[in-house]
């Protein structure tokens, strides 16, 4: 049913095994372990760009959290309108929540595929995935892209005497599929698998802690909005605890069904996650600082210098405003036609009243009188 996953996984594993078979030998456990590790790195390289985009999208979602909270409060009684406004804001900010889940979702099929391919090297027994084959039949049937010689090579590849496809809870009757199975014991498998499980649990915890602590630092510095209410704060705290404790605990209690080879996949995955997180966090923080510096520089460039009056716009809008002001002033100062006639009528003397001269006229008459007296 999942052959579209199993075949590509086995093909990538086969490719890397051929590469490392040259320096270490085709039957060496080192060549198989390195093939599994580089299968992990191949997947993570393909997912690097989506993971970087996910981190950028996550920062945008943190910045738009106040807007989202306002939308939820405004349209709490209208779910359809709330969804429309949410999608609108996400589109404006360039956020795609579905794309953010791609890196995590893509790793699950690879994990399941590798789990199945490694288990299928040993198809003896009647447990889940087993076909009940005899050790001879199992050693002479190909496993997806791996031929008979490569199946026998993997069954014979041992780390400290433990086959790479062995796991702690493996039924003892399946031990017969491995060469020299008489010397193999469950205690030997535990001695090799248990330290790897502990390393994976600790690495998963500290990788999650690194992410949670960064989120808390951003929240304390104000770069990320704090939870809007107690319920949101409780949910955030719960998610942080799940990342740091629940996921490592799940690995601890399910590690007994994981093959030695699959445990090396998880070790390699956590090593890659540690260094990738540090690189992506530094890169995204640098991009954010550059954006803030550019915005601050643009604000400084448009602001007036100290002691300088702000410049008025000389565009069409300013010209129209000046023309409108001039027209208003003209209309206000100029007397209307009817008012002009009334003013003329009011200036005429009433019957029997002496005409009133203007101040200028009075001064002129006085000067004439003085001149006449001198003569």
* 3-class SS letters over 306-340: CCCCCCCCCCHHHHHHHHHHHHHHHHHHCCCHHHH
- Residue 114 CA, chain-centre distance (Å), reads 27
Confidence of residue 74 (pLDDT cuts 50, 70, 90): confident
- The whole-angstrom separation of Cα 239 and Cα 242 is 5
Selected residue with higher pLDDT from 99 and 115: 115
Q: What angle do CA 87, 89, 92 make, to 5 degrees?
A: 110
- 273-316 per-position pLDDT tens digit: 999 999 998 888 888 788 778 878 888 877 776 666 666 655 55
User: Residue 82 has what pLDDT?
Assistant: 78
Percent of the chain with pLDDT over 90: 29
- Residue 357 CA, chain-centre distance (Å), reads 88
41 has pLDDT over 80: yes
| Residue 27 half-sphere exposure toward CB, CA atoms < 13 A | 7
Per the CB < 8 A criterion, the answer to whether 264 and 36 are in contact is yes
Structure tokens belonging to residue 232: 């949101």
Residue with tokens 């390289």: 45
347 has pLDDT over 60: no
- The whole-angstrom separation of Cα 372 and Cα 128 is 140
Highest average pLDDT, of 74-78, 151-155, 325-329, comes from: 151-155
Selected residue with higher pLDDT from 288 and 356: 288
User: Residue 67 has what pLDDT?
Assistant: 74
- 159-200 per-position pLDDT tens digit: 999 999 899 999 888 898 898 888 899 999 999 999 999 999
Name the burial class of residue 347, with classes exposed (0-12), middle (13-18) and buried (19+) by CB atoms within 10 angstroms of its CB.
Answer: exposed
Burial call 323-337: b when 16+ CB within 10 Å, e when fewer? eeeeeeeeeeeeeee
- The whole-angstrom separation of Cα 168 and Cα 222 is 48
Per the CB < 8 A criterion, the answer to whether 84 and 136 are in contact is no
User: Residue 36 has what pLDDT?
Assistant: 95
- The whole-angstrom separation of Cα 280 and Cα 48 is 9
β-bridge partners, 158: 163
User: Residue 11 has what pLDDT?
Assistant: 94
- The whole-angstrom separation of Cα 31 and Cα 13 is 11
Per the CB < 8 A criterion, the answer to whether 113 and 5 are in contact is yes
| C-alpha distances out from residue 112 to 6, 107, 294, 315, Å | 9, 9, 45, 66
Per the CB < 8 A criterion, the answer to whether 57 and 23 are in contact is no
β-bridge partners, 162: 159
Q: Residue 243 gets which letter from DSSP?
A: I
Question: How many residues does the structure list for the chain?
Answer: 375
């Amino acid at each position: 049913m999942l052959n579209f996953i199993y075949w590509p996984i086995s093909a990538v594993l086969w490719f890397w095994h051929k590469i490392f078979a040259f320096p270490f030998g085709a039957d060496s456990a080192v060549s198989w372990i390195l093939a599994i590790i580089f299968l992990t790195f191949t997947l993570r390289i393909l997912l690097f760009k989506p993971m970087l985009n996910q981190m950028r999208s996550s920062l945008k979602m943190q910045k738009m959290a106040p807007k989202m909270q306002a939308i939820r409060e405004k349209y709490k009684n209208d779910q359809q309108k709330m969804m429309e406004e949410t999608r609108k804001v996400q589109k404006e900010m360039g956020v795609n929540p579905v794309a953010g889940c791609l890196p995590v979702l893509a790793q699950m099929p690879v994990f399941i595929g590798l789990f199945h391919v490694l288990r299928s090297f040993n198809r003896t027994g009647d447990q889940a995935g087993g076909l009940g084959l005899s050790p001879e039949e199992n050693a002479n049937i190909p496993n997806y892209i791996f031929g008979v010689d490569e199946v026998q090579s993997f069954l014979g590849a041992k780390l400290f005497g433990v086959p790479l496809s062995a796991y702690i809870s493996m039924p003892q009757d399946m031990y017969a599929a491995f060469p020299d199975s008489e010397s193999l014991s469950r205690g030997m498998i535990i001695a090799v698998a248990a330290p790897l499980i502990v390393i994976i649990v600790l690495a998963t915890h500290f990788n999650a802690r690194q992410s949670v602590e960064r989120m808390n630092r951003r929240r304390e510095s104000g770069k990320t909005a704090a939870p809007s209410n107690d319920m949101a704060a409780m949910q955030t705290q719960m998610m942080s605890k799940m990342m740091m404790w629940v996921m490592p605990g799940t690995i601890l209690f399910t590690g007994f069904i994981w093959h030695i080879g699959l445990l090396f996949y998880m070790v390699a995955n956590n090593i890659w996650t540690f260094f990738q997180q540090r690189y992506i966090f530094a890169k995204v923080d640098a991009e954010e600082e550059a954006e803030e510096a550019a915005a601050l520089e643009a604000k400084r460039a448009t602001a007036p210098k100290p002691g300088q009056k702000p410049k008025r716009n000389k565009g069409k809008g300013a010209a129209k405003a000046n023309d409108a002001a001039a027209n208003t002033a003209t209309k206000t100062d100029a007397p209307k036609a009817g008012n002009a006639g009334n003013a003329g009528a009011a200036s005429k003397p009433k019957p029997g009243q002496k005409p009133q001269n203007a101040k200028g006229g009075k001064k002129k008459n006085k000067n004439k009188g003085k001149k006449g007296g001198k003569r």
